[in-house]
Amino acid sequence: MSFFQSLTERDRVFDFMTPQLSKVDVRHGPILYMEDVTVSFDGFKAINNLNLTIDDGELRCIIGPNGAGKTTMMDIITGKTRPNQGSVWFGSRHNLLHMNEPDIASLGIGRKFQKPTVFEALTVFENLELAMAADKRILPTLTARMTGEIKDRIDEVLETIGLTALRHQPAGILSHGQKQWLEIGMLLMQRPRLLLVDEPVAGMTEQEMERTAELLTGLAGKQSVVVVEHDMGFVRSIARQVTVLHQGSVLAEGTMDEVSMDPNVVEVYLGADEEAA
């Protein structure tokens, strides 16, 4: 869609004026619905006939060995990768396959990358400021002013992620774990309906992990959270519902106990990687 086209499209203006949370239609059940999705890179099927449903307010953990397609799945939901076939719906109104990354993001899907990605040259405060839900078009961004309300909101999140003391330091100097939190904080600022969190505790100490677990479980209910994680201990500590991916499709689904009993899962995953469990 061209820049000019979008300027003349009146419904876009209404889009941001309507409150963020009411955009998604979840009256008919799930907030995310993936059906028969397939992606192949040079003939290799990274995702193969994947079916996945996430309910509104649910906290779902997704596990699976390397190459199971976890990151690719997130790429599809956020619009980075286009599947060869299948459909992906956000609520019952928005077909995500017809939208690009910024559209999807402003619809209320937030993503935390596997490798923590924060804006290293900007301060912690500025990182959160940019992430905040706001009118993200050019002129409003150019003329945006820092109000007390916004400051309060940022301070609140700074408190939550425990980075208040470092608020004016460039994000580049943060430790690995702090960057992970900052990124989670950025997600919170976005006020998304659905959070996609890729390996949130990689490189964290035990205490940091506990805090992260607390954070994520606190979010569930208000927002839907999908966590991809390798650390089985962490998954066990937060998971209510677990989905096991294997070779691009769902191998098993259920509570942690259920899936760890599943003979298929034991064979392809847990069996091969006992100590991780």
Partner 1 sequence: MWLTRPFNERSTQIFLLILIVAVTAVTILHLAVPEGHPLYVSGYTVGLLGKYLTYALLAVAVDLVWGYLGILSLGHGAFFAIGGYAMGMYLMRQIGDRGTYGDPILPDFMVFLNWDSLPWYWLGFDMAWFAFAMVLIAPGLLALVFGWLAFRSRVTGVYLSIITQAMTFALMLAFFRNEMGFGGNNGLTDFRELLGFDLRSEATRLGLFIASAVALALGYWLCRAIVGSKLGRVCVATRDAEARTRFLGYRVERFQLFVFVVSAMLAGVAGALYVPQVGIINPSEFDPIFSIEVVLWVALGGRASLYGAVIGAVLVNYAKTVFTGVMPDAWLFALGGLFVFVTVFLPKGVAGLLERRARRRDDADVMSEKEATA
Partner 2 sequence: MWIPCYAVTTRIVTCLLMGLLSWLPMTAAAQQQDGQALLEALDTRSFDDKAAAIDAIIESEQSRADVWLQALLDSDLQRLKDDGRFVIALETAGLDVTIEDALTGEAMGEVSRRDLDRLTINNALRSQLRSAISLVELYNGDEDARLDAAEGLIGDVEEAQVEPLTNRLDEEPSAAVRNRLNQALAVYRLNQGDVDAVEVLAGSLNSNIRVALSRAAQSDDPLVVDAATAALADIEQNLKINRAAETLYFGLSMGSVLVLAAIGLAITFGVMGVINMAHGELIMLGAYTTWAMQQLLPGQPGLALILAIPAGFMVSALAGVAIERGVIQFLKGRPLETLLATFGVSLILQQLVRTVISPQNRTVITPEWMSGSLVVNDALSLTLNRMYVLGFALVVFAALILVMRRTRLGLEVRAVTQNRAMARSMGIRATRVDIMTFALGSGVAGLAGVALSQLTNVGPNLGQNYIIDSFMVVVFGGVGNLWGTLVAGMSLGIINQVLEPWAGAVLAKIIVLVFIILFIQKRPRGLFPQKGRAAEG
**Per CB under 8 A, 80 contacts partner 1:** yes
Q: Is 250 in the site for partner 1 (CB under 8 A)?
A: no
What's the burial of 141, exposed, middle or buried (CB within 10 Å: 0-12/13-18/19+)? exposed
Tell which residue, 248, 249, 247, 229, has the closest CA to residue 239.
229
CA distance 30 to 17: 25
CA 164/CA 167 separation, integer angstroms: 5
DSSP state of 115: S
Q: Does 126 bind partner 1 (CB under 8 A)?
A: yes
What is the rounded distance in angstroms from the CA atom of residue 188 to the CA atom of residue 236? 23
Is 245 within 8 Å of 70 (Cβ atoms)? yes
The interface partner of residue 25, options being partner 1, partner 2, none and the CB cut-off 5 to 8 Å by kind, is none
Q: Could you say which of partner 2, partner 1, none residue 106 binds, taking C-beta under 5 to 8 angstroms by partner kind?
A: partner 1
Q: Is 122 in the site for partner 1 (CB under 8 A)?
A: yes
Convert residues 155-174 into a mask of x (bound to partner 1 by CB under 8 A) and - (unbound).
-------------x------
Which range in 38-46, 49-57, 156-164, 240-248 contacts partner 2 by CB under 8 A? 38-46
209 residue type, one letter: M
By beta-carbon proximity to partner 1, the closer residue of 133 and 266 is 133
106 sits near partner 1 (criterion: CB under 8 A): yes
Site for partner 2 in 124-153 (CB under 8 A): none
1 binds partner 2, rule: CB under 8 A: no
**What's the burial of 70, exposed, middle or buried (CB within 10 Å: 0-12/13-18/19+)?**
buried
* Contact status: 44 vs partner 2 (CB under 8 A): yes
Phi, psi torsion values for 17, nearest 5 degrees: -75, -30
Q: Which DSSP string do the residues of 52-106 spell out, in sequence order?
A: EEE-TT-EEEEE--TTSSHHHHHHHHTTSS--SEEEEEETTTEEGGG--HHHHHH
Q: How far is CA 234 from the centre of its chain?
A: 17
Residues 245-274 binding partner 2 (CB under 8 A) are: none
Count of CA atoms in the C-beta half-sphere (13 A) of 180:
21
Site string (60-89) toward partner 2, x via CB under 8 A? ------------x-----------------
Residue 262 contacts partner 1 per CB under 8 A: no
Q: Which of 21, 41, 172, 257 binds partner 2 (CB under 8 A)?
A: 41
| Residue 42 near partner 2 by CB under 8 A | yes
Residues binding partner 1: number (CB under 8 A): 36
In this chain, which stretch among 61-69, 138-146, 209-217, 235-243 interacts with partner 1, using CB under 8 A? 138-146
Rank residues 162 and 170 by Cβ distance to partner 1 and give the closer one. 170
Residue owning tokens 């939901």? 77
Binding-site ranges for partner 1 (CB under 8 A)? 2-3, 78, 80, 101-102, 105-106, 110-111, 113, 117-123, 125-126, 129-131, 133, 136-138, 141-146, 168, 186, 190
